[in-house]
Structure 1
């Protein structure tokens, strides 16, 4: 099958493949749109079952970054990269150096950042070979705490802000006593759980790593369920914070939550699932809107800004989501469709 006929290809400007035999690196960079500025997006390392699965992921993720930057009012385009491999076993400095060479070869069209399986330390190794690695250092953090360049705290805070806005709109409530089912307790999901716990929410959690679950039980009093059950538990909010496509043909009819608001990218397996959520009366916070805190953080670190400006920008995610919810109700359209239209109006026009 040709790339141009691939189901996830969406007028992407540039897709590049790279293999470095001595380090074992197999990677793909996808640039979706650069009308608003150079593409920026994280580098994900994951043990994909096939190169086809990796290509699908990077195409979907890079497209999402175009929409994310546009809806966050950033002068950036959308890009993403993936490395095929197990980040807990197969990652080496030689591989990260080779990835830096790959990023550098695109001459600044793509700016790399942290994502699942790739740490700030990994990015620092890449930065030895490329001028286009972001998130390796930071001047400030949204809450005034120590800044190390990791955008995960800002991503988690943005999801927390957006989740609160969705609960307020749908349930006319604050978070005290609200039950949230979190799928995935990684860098972002665990921090989201911490925010929610402090606000008095009840937590149901799942993760593929037992250590993360043990911590959530001990620190937050969370209830643990199996990964295949989390979407179907009785909860007010379902928060997908792992890989994409959590909302699919198999899961959608079993979702009992009235709100879906989480950190994962590409939560809808197919566009029509947004319409099905609307028909079921479930309020969906479009993923690339609610999880934009990290890219907002990176953007502010690259310019003259401050912790206060960063925090205010992230907190604007709640207002943006509320605008989408209101417009969705007025137009009787899915929130995902409304958000897509708003984003496309921005990045396709280049302003």
Structure 2
């Protein structure tokens, strides 16, 4: 690994939007445009305060910078969050039209798509106000639509590669815990079920758990217990922070590989996992399938290029694991250095142009 020091990268901009007519309260954080316009989904959820929403947008937008850089995409990192009110909104379509106007006001520096809590119909509404949006209905060539199946495919490819690299065996017969059964988690569970993996599943929505039990013969586990349950592989697919100071010493899985962003509450936990002999697959490497598909849609890419890029996530993780072992590093630290180097090089090229 190069010893060149890499500076911390502050956010370029944070925008707060209020629209009294629709009830919209949103935050758009732009972390970096070194490699191109910032791109990231729009998360919709209830937050305790605007400060909490802003902090979430800051964390998520930074993760998008590293994700896009590591995936070799010509985009920077950004994220939008919408603070969903306790009482809901009168007209969801009008709210996302207003959100589209917020995105449009940034002049193309930020491109959005769906994320947790938002979907294709929401992006269609936003697209009435801006062209800087993806995740729209699938085109005739197969590109577009909900990107979450692509995220699941990338995580699955990474999991297969990590198991082969570490244990030289297949997923069949292994016990995999899927934490979070949203669009990505449920799609990942389906892929794992087809391989013959034994599934443990958890979600705060009991209906989703019941569906997974029925479809995949899965074993339900309490949402607050699955991270530390006995298993071979933990796949965090809910919100971030599954690995934290309270869980890191209780983890029984030997591999952590999932779709959630910011799975580690802080980066130093990767070293503690490694000390315990647990392989952590860097989240922003393995969960890049969705943003790969989104970028192809926004940039007029084709289905074959998306499939190739998503399937390359597995071999990419395998190479990272081998390189990290050879250098005495954790895969997380090496991935972080590679991503930061690419972003630093992008700024150098822009300054030289």
TM over 0.5: yes
C-alpha contact (below 8 Å) 2:133/2:298 kept by paired residues: no
C-alpha contact (below 8 Å) 2:42/2:113 kept by paired residues: yes
Q: Distance in 2 between matches of 1:88 and 1:68?
A: 34
Aligned to 2:72: 73
1:50 counterpart = 2:46:
no
Please report how far the alpha carbon of residue 88 of structure 1 lies from its aligned counterpart in structure 2 after TM superposition: 9.9
Aligned to 1:254: 250
Q: Distance in 2 between matches of 1:83 and 1:111?
A: 15
Aligned to 1:35: 34
Aligned to 1:13: 12
Matches within 5 A, 1:221-300: 221-300=217-296
SS in 1 for 2:30: strand
Q: 1:259 to 1:83 in 2, by over 3 A?
A: same
SS in 2 for 1:37: coil
Aligned to 1:199: 195
Residue 323 of structure 1: which of 316, 319, 322 is its match?
A: 319
SS in 1 for 2:15: strand
Q: 1:88 to 1:43 in 2, by over 3 A?
A: farther
Q: Distance in 2 between matches of 1:86 and 1:119?
A: 18
C-alpha contact (below 8 Å) 1:197/1:203 kept by paired residues: yes
Deviation by residue 1:217-261 (Cα, 9 ceiling, x = unmatched): 111000001111001111110000000011101111111000000
Q: Distance in 1 between matches of 2:60 and 2:242?
A: 14
Q: Distance in 2 between matches of 1:277 and 1:88?
A: 41
Gaps of 5+ in 2: 1-7
Aligned to 2:114: 114
Please report how far the alpha carbon of residue 312 of structure 1 lies from its aligned counterpart in structure 2 after TM superposition: 1.0
Q: Distance in 2 between matches of 1:102 and 1:87?
A: 22
C-alpha contact (below 8 Å) 2:143/2:303 kept by paired residues: no
1:131 counterpart = 2:131:
yes
Please report how far the alpha carbon of residue 279 of structure 1 lies from its aligned counterpart in structure 2 after TM superposition: 0.8
Q: Distance in 2 between matches of 1:332 and 1:344?
A: 19
SS in 2 for 1:238: strand
Compute the TM-score of the two structures, normalised by the length of structure 2: 0.92
Aligned to 2:105: 105
Deviation by residue 1:152-174 (Cα, 9 ceiling, x = unmatched): 11111111111111111122211
1:347 counterpart = 2:343:
yes
Please report how far the alpha carbon of residue 147 of structure 1 lies from its aligned counterpart in structure 2 after TM superposition: 5.7
C-alpha root-mean-square deviation of aligned residues, in Å?
1.7
C-alpha contact (below 8 Å) 1:45/1:86 kept by paired residues: no
Compute the TM-score of the two structures, normalised by the length of structure 1: 0.93
Stretch of structure 1 that moved more, 37-46 or 324-333: 324-333
Please report how far the alpha carbon of residue 10 of structure 1 lies from its aligned counterpart in structure 2 after TM superposition: 4.8
Q: Distance in 2 between matches of 1:117 and 1:16?
A: 20
SS in 2 for 1:163: helix
Please report how far the alpha carbon of residue 140 of structure 1 lies from its aligned counterpart in structure 2 after TM superposition: 6.2
Q: Distance in 1 between matches of 2:31 and 2:38?
A: 8
Please report how far the alpha carbon of residue 201 of structure 1 lies from its aligned counterpart in structure 2 after TM superposition: 0.5
1:166 counterpart = 2:162:
yes
SS in 2 for 1:204: strand
Please report how far the alpha carbon of residue 50 of structure 1 lies from its aligned counterpart in structure 2 after TM superposition: 2.1
Q: Distance in 2 between matches of 1:66 and 1:148?
A: 21
Alignment length, in residue pairs? 339
Q: 1:24 to 1:304 in 2, by over 3 A?
A: closer
Aligned to 2:92: 92
Stretch of structure 1 that moved more, 188-197 or 170-179: 170-179
Please report how far the alpha carbon of residue 309 of structure 1 lies from its aligned counterpart in structure 2 after TM superposition: 2.0
Please report how far the alpha carbon of residue 211 of structure 1 lies from its aligned counterpart in structure 2 after TM superposition: 1.2
Q: Distance in 1 between matches of 2:161 and 2:86?
A: 34
Please report how far the alpha carbon of residue 324 of structure 1 lies from its aligned counterpart in structure 2 after TM superposition: 1.5
Aligned to 2:182: 186
